Amino acid sequence: MSERDTRTLPKAELHLHVEGTLEPEMVYALAEKNGITLPFDDIDDLRSRYSFESLQPFLDLYYACTDVLVTRDDFRVLAGAYLEKAHADGVRHVEMFFDPQAHTARDVAIDDVLDGLLDAFAEAKATHGTTGGLILCFLRHLPAAEAAATLESVAHRASDLLAVGMDSSEVGFPAAPFAPVYARARELGLHCVGHAGEEGDPSYVWAALDELKVERVDHGVRSLEDDALVARLVEQRIPLTVCPLSNLRLQVVDDLREHPLRRMLDLGLVATVNSDDPAYFGGYVDANFDAVRTALDLDDDALRTLARNSITGSFADDDRKAELL
Ligand code: HPA
Ligand code: ZN
């Protein structure tokens, strides 16, 4: 299958942080518009910092850039630009992460965040027929009480959300304290997902399954270190939202040729390919497909399986899934 064909393969993107689609040009344009002084000399200085030894240095830069997002329209423009790029990559359904606590901490109203993102989804639906929704992520380096307060602040708008998730620093930040927040999200009718097994060992994936009762594991690449965990993920058909270029750039793997994606498929795991934070990691979803196709020599069947997994692993309703499969 050529790059052209992987691009036209209908697919869903299930692991995409909208704040991670902030391209350097947009960082500078929004900073100027909103009168924000950035902690970089200029755009080239910002670009020179896109090399990361691990998750934390990336997160530090990601949160610094996030500060330029202020108004409802900023969120609409950001998500709209991503949804256009995704459409060009054959993405027909998007389940988009956002980090409300990174915005409300700066006194941005959570309604403006939600409304701006929903404006972009409405436009993409009207223009391209794109479906999908929003996944509200809790920052796991902050106290669970703050996550609970964030969820309660939008409880009256639960129907505007698809799911809750959890992201940010993983190692040293246990999932268990967030169990009541996840239980409350389920009570509100929301699906539950969470980052686990990106840098954290398999115990983090077990905790996401057992404590948070996640329906999907975001990343999950380190699950392969534990056979019993793999057996559980296969048996329960828990999708893993894998992000190859992210894993490379954050040095979760040293070389894409050593990426576990092929092994995941061979083991019968429901693996999907996603872009995570494409503005930071060197490419949108098709760039990720293309990178693993080349590095792992994936054949057409494997590429089609990955695209199908993204649709079956999504929270789209059965009619929409049938349309896309
Ligand atoms: N991991 C954890 N938190 C994140 C990421 C990630 O890859 N991207 C944005 N927040
Ligand atoms: Zn992520």
pLDDT tens digits, one per residue of 288-297: 999 999 999 9
How far is residue 271's CA from residue 265's CA, in Å, rounded to a whole number?
A: 7
Which residues is 133 bridged to in the sheet?
95
Dist. CA 187 → ligand 1 center (Å): 26
In one letter, which amino acid is 22? Answer: L
How far is residue 20's CA from residue 73's CA, in Å, rounded to a whole number?
A: 17
Q: Is residue 169 part of a domain?
A: yes
Tokens 């964030």 sit on residue: 150
pLDDT at 74 over 80: yes
With contact defined as beta carbons under 8 Å apart, do 10 and 90 qualify?
A: yes
From the CB of 198, is ligand 1 less than 6 Å away?
yes
Encode pLDDT of 193-244 as tens digits. Answer: 999 999 999 999 999 999 999 999 999 999 999 999 999 999 999 999 999 9
Residue 134 falls in which region: left (phi positive, over 0), alpha (psi -120 to 50) or beta: beta
From the CB of 277, is ligand 1 less than 6 Å away?
yes
Encode pLDDT of 254-280 as tens digits. Answer: 999 999 999 999 999 999 999 999 999
Mean model confidence pLDDT for the chain: 97
pLDDT at 48 over 80: yes
Encode pLDDT of 128-187 as tens digits. Answer: 999 999 999 999 999 999 999 999 999 999 999 999 999 999 999 999 999 999 999 999
How far is residue 29's CA from residue 40's CA, in Å, rounded to a whole number?
A: 14
How far is residue 193's CA from residue 182's CA, in Å, rounded to a whole number?
A: 9
Q: In what order do the strands lie in the sheet with 163-167?
A: 11-17, 91-98, 131-139, 163-167, 191-196, 216-219, 240-242, 271-273
Half-sphere exposure of 57 (CA within 13 A, CB side): 9
Total structural domains in the chain? 1
pLDDT at 1 over 80: no
Which atom of ligand 1 is closest in space to residue 167's alpha carbon? 3
Q: Is residue 129 part of a domain?
A: yes
SS3 36: coil
Dist. CA 59 → ligand 1 center (Å): 7
Q: Is residue 121 part of a domain?
A: yes
**Residue 198 appears among annotated catalytic residues:** yes
CA 9 to the chain's CA centroid:
20
Residue 35 falls in which region: left (phi positive, over 0), alpha (psi -120 to 50) or beta: left
Q: What confidence score (pLDDT) does residue 219 get? A: 98
Which of 32, 198, 215, 235 is an active site residue?
198
Pocket perturbation via mutation, ligand 1, pick of 13, 14, 15, 17 by most ligand atoms within 8 A of CB: 17
As a whole number, mean pLDDT of residues 98-115 equals 98
**pLDDT band at 8; cut points 50, 70, 90:** confident
Neighbours of 21 (CB within 10 A): 22
Q: What confidence score (pLDDT) does residue 3 get? A: 59
Q: What confidence score (pLDDT) does residue 206 get? A: 98
> The domain containing residue 10 runs over which residues?
3-314
CATH number at residue 230: 3.20.20.140
**pLDDT band at 6; cut points 50, 70, 90:** confident
Complex ipTM value: 0.96
Token pair for 10: 């209908």
Whole-number percent of the chain with pLDDT over 70: 99
How far is residue 17's CA from residue 93's CA, in Å, rounded to a whole number?
A: 15
How far is residue 192's CA from residue 137's CA, in Å, rounded to a whole number?
A: 10
- Please name the residues in contact with 183: beta carbons below 8 A apart, sequence gap of 6 or more: none
How far is residue 150's CA from residue 2's CA, in Å, rounded to a whole number?
A: 44
pLDDT at 2 over 70: no
SS3 239: coil
Q: What confidence score (pLDDT) does residue 142 get? A: 98
From the CB of 20, is ligand 1 less than 6 Å away?
yes
Determine if residue 15 is labeled as part of a ligand binding site: yes
Encode pLDDT of 279-323 as tens digits. Answer: 999 999 999 999 999 999 999 999 999 999 999 999 999 999 999
Q: Is residue 319 part of a domain?
A: no
pLDDT at 72 over 90: yes
Q: Is residue 50 part of a domain?
A: yes
From the CB of 21, is ligand 1 less than 6 Å away?
no
Determine if residue 141 is labeled as part of a ligand binding site: no
As a whole number, mean pLDDT of residues 187-193 equals 98
**CA nearest 308: which of 271, 283, 268?**
271
Nearest CA to ligand 1 atom 3: 168
From the CB of 274, is ligand 1 less than 6 Å away?
no
Q: Is residue 321 part of a domain?
A: no
Dist. CA 122 → ligand 1 center (Å): 26
Which atom of ligand 1 is closest in space to residue 170's alpha carbon? 2
Q: Is residue 285 part of a domain?
A: yes
SS3 201: coil
**CA nearest 19: which of 177, 187, 137, 132?**
137
Q: Is residue 76 part of a domain?
A: yes
Nearest CA to ligand 1 atom 4: 168
As a whole number, mean pLDDT of residues 80-92 equals 98
**pLDDT band at 4; cut points 50, 70, 90:** low
